[in-house]
Amino acid sequence: MKSILKIIGLLILYSLICYKIYIDTEPVTNKTSKINKVDKIDFKKQTEKIGYLKIDKINLFQPLYKKDSIHNNVEENITILKESIMPTEKESIVFLAAHSGTGRVAYFEKLNNINIGDKIELDYKGKIYIYNVINIWEEPKNGYIHINKHSNNQLILTTCSPESSNKQLVINSIEENKNTSKS
């Protein structure tokens, strides 16, 4: 009798394990499932991308999101600051901010390795804009960046100073030439 109960117990355990495996590997077709909700969120995130920032010198290639996107924030991505005038507009000045230091969102971790003369690539809505770094400085972290406006379009990158916790690193660059379409 004990051996029959053991066999029945093992069969029940085996059945439960098989059922669990079946449920975990079964294709999801229910439109309200968690997987489909994630797919919808990822699709929305993809449609909110408007380009990327690329800096070869520091091995940076990161997407950029619309200014009004929930993904346009420093806790998740490189952020386009609301004061930005995008490169398709006259006398553009684009402000980008991101974390430095360490961690998965420290996209500007190596920004202090940039030098005057280095190139920065900004893809905005399918057009590539190349900028040359013309000035690098630190200033107090107080919510403002003091910029001298140039006649050329500008791209400003900012992050916390690697040297001082109460300062921010600012990199000013100007557009090199006319933009080109991606092929």
pLDDT in tens, 116-134: 999 999 999 999 999 999 9
Percent of the residues in the chain that have a pLDDT greater than 90, as a whole number: 57
How far is it, in rounded angstroms, from Cα 93 to Cα 112?
21
Sheet strands (E) in 29-161? 49-55, 60-65, 79-80, 93-97, 119-124, 127-140, 154-160
Sign of CA dihedral 24, 28, 33, 34: positive
* 72-92 tens-digit pLDDT: 999 999 999 999 999 999 889
Closest to 116 (Cα-Cα) out of 176, 171, 72, 169: 171
Q: How high is the pLDDT of residue 110? A: 94
How far is it, in rounded angstroms, from Cα 133 to Cα 110?
15
* Single-letter amino acid code for the residue at 64: L
How far is it, in rounded angstroms, from Cα 74 to Cα 81?
10
How far is it, in rounded angstroms, from Cα 85 to Cα 101?
28
* Single-letter amino acid code for the residue at 125: K
pTM score > 0.85 for this model?
A: no
Phi, psi of 182 (to 5 degrees): -70, 140
Domains belonging to the chain, first-starting first, are 50-181 (2.40.260.10)
8 A C-beta contact, residue 77 and residue 105: yes
Q: Give bridge partners of residue 158 from the DSSP assignment.
A: 97, 170
Give the number of residues written for the chain. Answer: 183
Ranges of residues in the chain whose predicted pLDDT is under 50: 25-40, 179-181, 183
Q: How high is the pLDDT of residue 22? A: 56
